[in-house]
Amino acid sequence: MPGLELNGIEVNFPFVPYPCQVDYMTSVLESIIKKKNAILESPTGTGKTLCLLCSSISWLISAKADMQFATVQRELDDIDPIRPNLINKSGINDQIDNNKKLAYPKIIYASRTHSQLTQVIKELKMTQYKDIKTCAIGSRDQLCINPQVNQQKNYTTKLNMCKAKVNAKTCFFYNNVENVIPELKALTTVDIEDLNAFGNKHKCCPYYTARNLKEGADILFMPYNYLLDKKLRKSNNIDMNNTVVIFDEAHNVERVCEDSASAEFSTTDIASAMSEIDFLLDEIQKIPDEDSNFREDDPNDLENLGNAMANMPATLEELKDILLILKSLEEELDSIKIQGQDGITKTAVFLFELLKKCNINFDRRGYIFDILQRLLQYFGAQTPSAKHHNGASLGKFQDFMQTIFSDNTVSDDGSGDINKKIKKISQFYKVYIKNDNLKGRIICFWCLCPGYSMQDLLSEGARCIILTSGTLSPISTFKDEMKIPFDVVLENPHIIKESQIKVLSVNKGPDNVVLSSKYTNRDSENYIKSLGETIQSFCKIVPHGVLVFFPSYRALESALNSWRKSNLWNKIGDVKSIFIESKNSKDCNDTVLKYYEKIKDRRSNGAIMFAVCRGKISEGIDFNDNNGRAVIVTGLPFPLYTDPRVVLKRQYLDEHKTSSGTLWYNQQTYRAVNQAIGRVIRHKNDYGAILLCDERFSQMSSISQLPGWMRGHMKKINEYNSALDELGKFFNVAVEKYPIVPKIPSLQSNVSYVQAEGQMKHKEQGGDMMVDICSAYGSQKPAIQANTDSVESKNFYDALGQSKSAMTNLEPFNCGTNRMDNDENNFKLILQKRKMEEAKNGKCRVVIKDTVSVTETKTEKLNDSIFKEKQADTEKKTTNLKQFLLIKIFL
């Protein structure tokens, strides 16, 4: 595994890095060592995740060693004149204070979803750092295995029931966590799936197992709302002291910052919460009083009374107090005059004054929160039934209050002046009150500045914050919004060659109609017809998978309905199978899987997916290789101009002069476009086309908002036929020049490769592909034939990006010298002789190129002296691989 020194830190990278990867890791280390925040943009396919992991973990190892050495050095009072320079490499010595013990550094790696984090952990497991202690932080939704708790649909109910069982020690799985602590110590790199597997195997709670692992972990993985939401940060006991915080896929972090600091509450929620209080009051009324048949001299009556009172979560006075607060809040909200459905905007000061009338303020918040917490625990401990409430609405009330009366360090200067604090909060918030047909009147407490959460995070002791993604452009406003300094900024180029990408701005359709999805033109029949014909023509040229992104679901439905009424729908369907993105998350996942299957079907001409910018498909789903050979963007996805939150955001920016509201509005549009564009070109050997079918994309104001790596490839096309010519020439070359090769997540020193050359023959039945492997190694190039179409491939090692020097002095070693006639033995494998010794012990993982097929098998001792004896056995184990052309083996 190649080692390199960057900023004085030795980094072990799985293969020889590209220059852009070196630049990226150098920037990561500069940020961490100098305690400077960083914004790093690197296109998808440049190995961003691997660079983040290797560089940050290398620093962590160095920093911990430096701290340990410094501690010993001080204790022995033996200052080595050479060592201080070594300590400086990690940048840790400037924080060491003889009078203060500094926490050992940690890394928090945050991404948008658990599925993205699972992929990150898989990459980590393929590096030399795979044994570092990690822990994935998840919610009870992902980690609870208690059947009674798990069946609760409402998360608040699930949370409170879990807490009640834990406090009462009635959860078998929680109680068993202590019994498996020895086994916990053996866990190293674990994700959510690993935690669940461990919990099910040992009958212990995965959620509290993770909390135990967290204390000794060097890296914590979590979705970034767990980090940005102060309530979640506190409930998960996340210590930020001396922590390197990494936000991967950070293009959405602005909105998550704002959402995590925002809250809403409706009059319907208030009514339901009051109903829950009434239920508890009824329970109290059932307790015997002085006028009942209760007898003070009867021990049974005394015991029953004591048990009944002890089981109640609050006193009668406390329950009445909360009920009065809710009634007052309902009356105050109903008294606000709102005309129509537009709603009204107020300052945060208005909300605090309104709550003060309801006897809610900073002085009483602790008292109110304590009562609410006891009530929620009580509801959680009850056996679920139709007659029992679950406390969900009281939980929403608690969340609403905790958000408003948060101890955010940005608004608290330590003076204790409440009015000053409220005034500070008002600088970041607006209150919006509206009517809703289902929820009644809703009061919204909206944070309009992502920097409010980001500043609070940094103030809790984080060493540095790194924001990174493939689509952060335009970066200027992104920096301004965060309200923290970013001294390290990188916009990385792509590692692909010019022959791998074609970017066209197409202004007109085949009938010479201007392509424009402007508000005044988007419903034009001529425009919609021309757009459909354009897409159909492109589909005839683009092989395999095509993704088409519309600005909104309305624009998508309007176009599809129009095409269905004409013959265009059938014409598109004749070229490629049609799939449509669903708004439902589960249905969308199913659709994507069916789309993948159609792409793999060699009897089809591929598939086309109609989707929406900012939808699920544009955000986090991988369309590498044949799954995405072209992305077509049909327009500019401007946020809804009249959306109250958009209106208030624009006003906020204009009022505070931090940025222009109009500039922010436009940049949100192009960031959504850039994210959709990112579905194509997913790795260094991928290729594809980006087709921007709206005349506004050809304007310089639009081009300047596109990713830096893409601008140089942009070509304006005014004549439709020119677009077809450009596209045809591009794919004629790309298909020949960049054949699909096996994915190599990392090239380790313990990796051995198998190379084979052969003919792929199509079986008439079943559509399977067979390979007759006849020979191969060195300079020979496999000729691949399928359905009489031949494609010449590069040498396998060249295709993997390895240098020729890495292949010198490697002698081929024949594995089976006799050619057999039957199908089971119709192959010959060539192995690197010097790798044979490395296969003496351990497990051999054979990864085959057929997109999904993976086979694992145990290997027996193999070396030159006994290899011939084991030859037959080795051939037998690999017979099931004959239908694949390229194979790699991890030894």
Residues 436 and 508 in one domain: no
pLDDT of 109 > 50? The answer is yes
Give the confidence band of 688 by pLDDT, cuts at 50, 70, 90: very high
Paired strand residues for 812: 832
Give the confidence band of 680 by pLDDT, cuts at 50, 70, 90: confident
AA identity, residue 801:
G
Distance, CA of 352 to CA of 243 (rounded, Å): 34
Q: Identify the CA nearest to 654 among candidates 645, 663, 641.
A: 663
Would you state the pLDDT for residue 181?
82
How do residues 314-353 score in pLDDT, each as one tens digit? 888 999 999 999 999 999 999 999 876 789 999 999 999 9
pLDDT of 645 > 50? The answer is yes
At a CB cut-off of 8 Å and minimum separation 6, what does 155 contact? Answer: 139, 140, 141
Residues 249 and 279 in one domain: no
**Selected residue with higher pLDDT from 34 and 587:** 34
Residues 478 and 510 in one domain: no
Give the confidence band of 441 by pLDDT, cuts at 50, 70, 90: very high
Paired strand residues for 106: 243
- 89-93, 623-627, 741-745: least confidently modelled range: 741-745
Distance, CA of 52 to CA of 108 (rounded, Å): 12
pLDDT of 203 > 50? The answer is yes
Residues 630 and 507 in one domain: yes
Would you state the pLDDT for residue 186?
77
* Residue 305 token pair: 């009374």
CA dist list (Å): 113 to 93, 156, 294: 35, 20, 57
| 392-404 and 348-357 helices, crossing angle to 10° | 120
**Phi, psi angle pair for 519, to nearest 5°:** -55, -40
How do residues 834-874 score in pLDDT, each as one tens digit? 233 333 333 333 333 332 233 333 333 333 333 333 333 43
Distance, CA of 97 to CA of 92 (rounded, Å): 11
For residue 886, tell me if it sits in a domain.
yes
- 256-265, 306-315, 612-621, 845-854: least confidently modelled range: 845-854
How do residues 214-247 score in pLDDT, each as one tens digit? 888 899 999 988 999 988 898 888 989 889 999 9
| Angle ∠(50,54,60) on CA atoms, nearest 5 | 145
* Continuous H helices in 545-690: 553-565, 568-575, 585-600, 616-620, 644-656, 661-677
Q: Identify the CA nearest to 120 among candidates 57, 181, 165, 77.
A: 57
User: In the chain, pLDDT over 90 holds for what percent of residues?
Assistant: 43
Distance, CA of 192 to CA of 173 (rounded, Å): 17
For residue 179, tell me if it sits in a domain.
no
| 392-404 and 365-381 helices, crossing angle to 10° | 150
**Selected residue with higher pLDDT from 742 and 593:** 593
pLDDT of 396 > 60? The answer is yes
- 263-277, 735-749, 756-770: least confidently modelled range: 756-770
Give the confidence band of 312 by pLDDT, cuts at 50, 70, 90: confident
Give the confidence band of 267 by pLDDT, cuts at 50, 70, 90: very high
pLDDT of 800 > 50? The answer is no
**Selected residue with higher pLDDT from 839 and 632:** 632
Give the confidence band of 57 by pLDDT, cuts at 50, 70, 90: very high
* Continuous H helices in 417-524: 418-426, 451-459, 475-482
CATH of the domain at 119: 3.40.50.300
pLDDT of 483 > 80? The answer is yes
Mean pLDDT of 464-488: 87
pLDDT of 85 > 80? The answer is no
Distance, CA of 741 to CA of 745 (rounded, Å): 12
* Residue 649 token pair: 């955001």
Mean pLDDT of 258-282: 93
> Does residue 450 have a cis peptide bond before it, meaning omega lies within 30 degrees of 0?
no
Residues 441 and 582 in one domain: no
Q: Identify the CA nearest to 464 among candidates 103, 108, 221.
A: 108
For residue 146, tell me if it sits in a domain.
no
Distance, CA of 769 to CA of 374 (rounded, Å): 64
Which residue range forms the structural domain that includes residue 115?
3-132+218-259+462-491
Q: Which of 706, 737, 768 is the last residue of a domain?
A: 737
For residue 142, tell me if it sits in a domain.
no
For 383, counting Cβ atoms within 10 Å of its Cβ (0-12 exposed, 13-18 middle, 19+ buried), the class is exposed
Residues 530 and 396 in one domain: no
At a CB cut-off of 8 Å and minimum separation 6, what does 416 contact? Answer: none
At a CB cut-off of 8 Å and minimum separation 6, what does 440 contact? Answer: 266, 267, 268, 271
Give the confidence band of 454 by pLDDT, cuts at 50, 70, 90: very high
Would you state the pLDDT for residue 637?
95
Percentages helix, strand, coil for the chain (3-state, rounded to 5) are 45, 15, 35
Distance, CA of 602 to CA of 686 (rounded, Å): 19
Distance, CA of 308 to CA of 295 (rounded, Å): 15
Residues 44 and 10 in one domain: yes
Residues 812 and 832 in one domain: yes
Paired strand residues for 784: 791
Dihedral, CA of residue 589, residue 593, residue 596 and residue 601, to nearest 10 = -160
Would strands 789-792 and 783-786 be described as parallel, antiparallel, or unpaired?
Answer: antiparallel
Mean pLDDT of 430-435: 95
Residues 479 and 364 in one domain: no
Would you state the pLDDT for residue 477?
77
Paired strand residues for 345: 432
Mean pLDDT of 465-482: 85
Collapse the DSSP code of 441 into the 3-class scheme (helix H, G, I; strand E, B; otherwise coil) and give the result. Answer: strand
Mean pLDDT of 722-740: 92
Question: What does the buried/exposed string (b/e) look like for 7-37 if buried means 16 or more CB atoms within 10 Å of the residue's CB?
Answer: bebebbbbbebbebbbbbbbbbbbbbbeebb
For residue 744, tell me if it sits in a domain.
no
pLDDT of 811 > 70? The answer is no
CB 394 within 8 A of CB 375: yes
Collapse the DSSP code of 683 into the 3-class scheme (helix H, G, I; strand E, B; otherwise coil) and give the result. Answer: coil
Which pTM does this prediction carry?
0.78
At a CB cut-off of 8 Å and minimum separation 6, what does 67 contact? Answer: 92, 96, 102, 104, 105
CB 842 within 8 A of CB 891: yes
CA dist list (Å): 420 to 153, 355, 588, 612: 41, 17, 48, 44
Average pLDDT, the chain: 78
How do residues 656-674 score in pLDDT, each as one tens digit? 877 788 988 998 999 899 9
pLDDT of 451 > 80? The answer is yes
Would you state the pLDDT for residue 251?
87
Residues 97 and 127 in one domain: yes
Collapse the DSSP code of 609 into the 3-class scheme (helix H, G, I; strand E, B; otherwise coil) and give the result. Answer: strand
pLDDT of 878 > 80? The answer is no
pLDDT of 752 > 50? The answer is no
Distance, CA of 346 to CA of 889 (rounded, Å): 64
Would you state the pLDDT for residue 858?
34
Q: How many CB atoms lie within 10 A of CB 370?
A: 12
Would you state the pLDDT for residue 114?
85
CB 270 within 8 A of CB 456: no
**Phi, psi angle pair for 264, to nearest 5°:** -135, 150
Looking at residue 1, the DSSP 8-state letter turns out to be: -
As for how many domains the chain has, the answer is: 4
Would you state the pLDDT for residue 303?
47
Distance, CA of 303 to CA of 300 (rounded, Å): 5
**Selected residue with higher pLDDT from 182 and 23:** 23
For residue 624, tell me if it sits in a domain.
yes
Distance, CA of 891 to CA of 841 (rounded, Å): 9
pLDDT of 566 > 80? The answer is yes
For 548, counting Cβ atoms within 10 Å of its Cβ (0-12 exposed, 13-18 middle, 19+ buried), the class is buried
Would you state the pLDDT for residue 34?
92
CB 815 within 8 A of CB 809: no
Residues 615 and 726 in one domain: yes
Provide the CA 818 distance to its chain's centre, in angstroms: 50
For residue 427, tell me if it sits in a domain.
yes
Q: First CA to last CA across the chain, in angstroms? A: 14
For 798, counting Cβ atoms within 10 Å of its Cβ (0-12 exposed, 13-18 middle, 19+ buried), the class is middle
Looking at residue 264, the DSSP 8-state letter turns out to be: E
At a CB cut-off of 8 Å and minimum separation 6, what does 6 contact? Answer: 22, 25, 26, 29, 55
pLDDT of 472 > 80? The answer is yes
Phi-psi map region of 552: left, alpha, beta (phi>0 left; psi -120 to 50 alpha) = beta
Distance, CA of 588 to CA of 553 (rounded, Å): 14
Collapse the DSSP code of 757 into the 3-class scheme (helix H, G, I; strand E, B; otherwise coil) and give the result. Answer: strand
Residues 432 and 466 in one domain: no
pLDDT of 516 > 70? The answer is yes
For residue 824, tell me if it sits in a domain.
yes
